Structure 1
């Protein structure tokens, strides 16, 4: 079934976690958790909304924590309730987990329900890197179980300051084992001058690997549409506050999970009512208006609000990192797609057009 438009609904099941990752943005953990009644009410309401919206044909329920598997019984009861009551509705569940609590009993249940729920596992590279970033032994994680049951999904790799220098080889090592890997920069990290040179070098290593190994699925950062460069309108980085909603443990809705008290440490719900997330222009950073790669830079409105007091104010330490990414990825896409230019899909043609425009804008710009 081809998706026209989907909605993402996050449920914060618990404020608790069994790890203490170095880059975790959830700084205000507690033992609080969501009740089944609250979760069921949210699912009922959101599925009803989707059924009444002709332009939206599915809803994805992201089950978050903390560590969501701490609330496995809640996950189990919620999914079984939903499949029993809404078998004809287009929906699915996704759980982002560190994987450390996935027992044999839980594996069996997830395997039996894998058509309606998926597991996204965080794996940060080598055993040493994973231990440094996340404080647990990667070699004990049930990676093969996740890959066997959801073979099209990516393992989630966060690139931290510690792992920046060697993330290409650590990604390749995982790819060589048959895993799909989505590597992305740590959000909220203050990148230092010179990091962009290292980032570009590592991206080029990965690009060359993908060009020489067409059977490997490129990470999402290498598969950018860049279509935003071809249209004359402000870019909104995500569906925050429009096609995305996050419910905290008490059932209160937020624009996304980056705005909940677990992240901010205080209640900001009233302040958020003053922000129109559907007005793209109002979300732009005035300092970036003259930048040629303004539309290529990703930003997190939640982090902007948390760290700089405004959803508009971007983290300028990321500027050269995203420039490096744009230069390498656009060159990669041009070579990758042109090698099969006679058999491109419509989407790939648009991707090539965007990459050419991106390359034109960035290739002469020094890092």
Structure 2
């Protein structure tokens, strides 16, 4: 299936909280409210009609992302809503997706997924081999039919979360997953006990090994960790929004009751109710399209136009969108510098890398300028 870049300016991601329930209790999960309710379809359908009709002009593609909890615990409602969306918006270019822990995929779900294989992408969460995976995700490794995912979506990335107790295994876990037929996308766990003195040197070492793998294997497109929007660092580049995640712009989320948020990380404890005036205030701040209004302390940071270390998590955990986790800022800078170094070598011998064909000449041009700007301005 064609890769869908949800960060592209012409693509809108609509995140739907399928259910808060989950059958696992992963140690690094930021979703702390594991309540049982699932989507209230009647309310949600009304909100989606409004979102598409009045708030989605200029978008050419849409991604409907079912979020959890474990989304497939609400499989019947997902199935129902997918069919409704297809009938209601037949002229829209729509892809459906979800991230699943893979442990509740029954034969009925498998059959439905295969029927809808060309339009529905199930992204598997898998952190490495059995030892690494089970460190944080219980004894769930053996409950996953890994062949079902690798055989049917061989080019689709999987979510590989890296935590303090698995950071030293990051590259080996990547290689393990790649060798069994997956396309791993490592991401660092949020809101966990990262220690820069201990973990940063390990992370740098693992990043260097990962970037060298991509350089030495031209047939493998770099994953999301290192395939960063370097073109946005060109002073000449103009984007619809500064922050890379697109919360409140390219990304919108709805909770199970149909309440609207900039993204799913703003959805806190549903028992507290929805504060519409507060969310209107949050949207108003984001719509000003200026990171400096959100975090004045980042005023002089050279990566402010990309970094945006999760406004929603900052808000939900510390009550302030601009209250960034300073540890993650350092990790972000290291990641960006490694990405720039990797692409400087790749662009030097660009004919070797067939996947560069998906990038426009304009993006490549601005990326090269952006790399020069990153090396000039970014320091730890």
Q: What TM-score comes out, normalization by structure 1 length?
A: 0.89
In the other structure, the counterpart of 2:371 is 355
Pick which of 234-243 and 94-103 moved more. Answer: 234-243
| Contact 1:68–1:96, Cα closer than 8 Å, also in 2 | yes
List gaps (5 residues or longer) in structure 1: none
Residues 1:146 and 2:162 aligned together: no
In the other structure, the counterpart of 1:279 is 288
C-alpha displacement at 1:237, in angstroms?
3.1
Determine the C-alpha separation between the residues in 2 that align with 1:208 and 1:261: 40
C-alpha displacement at 1:45, in angstroms?
3.2
Specify whether residues 87 and 291 from structure 1 end up closer, same or farther in structure 2 by C-alpha distance, changes over 3 A only: closer
Where 1:227 maps in the other structure, the secondary structure is helix
Residue 68 of structure 2: which of 54, 65, 68 is its match? 65
In the other structure, the counterpart of 1:328 is 338
Residue 184 of structure 2: which of 181, 185, 188 is its match? 181
In the other structure, the counterpart of 1:111 is 114
Specify whether residues 42 and 110 from structure 1 end up closer, same or farther in structure 2 by C-alpha distance, changes over 3 A only: farther
In the other structure, the counterpart of 1:46 is 51
List gaps (5 residues or longer) in structure 2: none
User: What do the CA deviations read for 1:196-216 (whole angstroms, capped 9, x no partner)?
Assistant: 211111000111112222222
How many residues are paired up? Answer: 362
Determine the C-alpha separation between the residues in 1 that align with 2:368 and 2:271: 40
| Contact 1:241–1:254, Cα closer than 8 Å, also in 2 | yes
| Contact 1:196–1:321, Cα closer than 8 Å, also in 2 | yes
Where 1:119 maps in the other structure, the secondary structure is strand
User: What do the CA deviations read for 1:88-117 (whole angstroms, capped 9, x no partner)?
Assistant: 322121111111111122111111012221
| Contact 2:14–2:63, Cα closer than 8 Å, also in 1 | yes
Determine the C-alpha separation between the residues in 1 that align with 2:352 and 2:64: 39
Specify whether residues 294 and 45 from structure 1 end up closer, same or farther in structure 2 by C-alpha distance, changes over 3 A only: closer
C-alpha displacement at 1:155, in angstroms?
0.6
Determine the C-alpha separation between the residues in 2 that align with 1:291 and 1:186: 23
Residues 1:228 and 2:232 aligned together: yes
In the other structure, the counterpart of 1:258 is 265
C-alpha displacement at 1:273, in angstroms?
1.9
Determine the C-alpha separation between the residues in 1 that align with 2:272 and 2:205: 37
Where 1:135 maps in the other structure, the secondary structure is coil
Residue 216 of structure 1: which of 213, 220, 223 is its match? 220
Specify whether residues 85 and 286 from structure 1 end up closer, same or farther in structure 2 by C-alpha distance, changes over 3 A only: closer
C-alpha displacement at 1:136, in angstroms?
3.3
Determine the C-alpha separation between the residues in 2 that align with 1:315 and 1:300: 9
In the other structure, the counterpart of 1:248 is 255
Determine the C-alpha separation between the residues in 2 that align with 1:146 and 1:348: 32
Where 1:155 maps in the other structure, the secondary structure is strand
C-alpha displacement at 1:60, in angstroms?
1.3
Specify whether residues 250 and 342 from structure 1 end up closer, same or farther in structure 2 by C-alpha distance, changes over 3 A only: closer
Determine the C-alpha separation between the residues in 2 that align with 1:342 and 1:80: 42
Pairwise CA RMSD:
2.6
Determine the C-alpha separation between the residues in 1 that align with 2:275 and 2:42: 24
C-alpha displacement at 1:267, in angstroms?
4.3
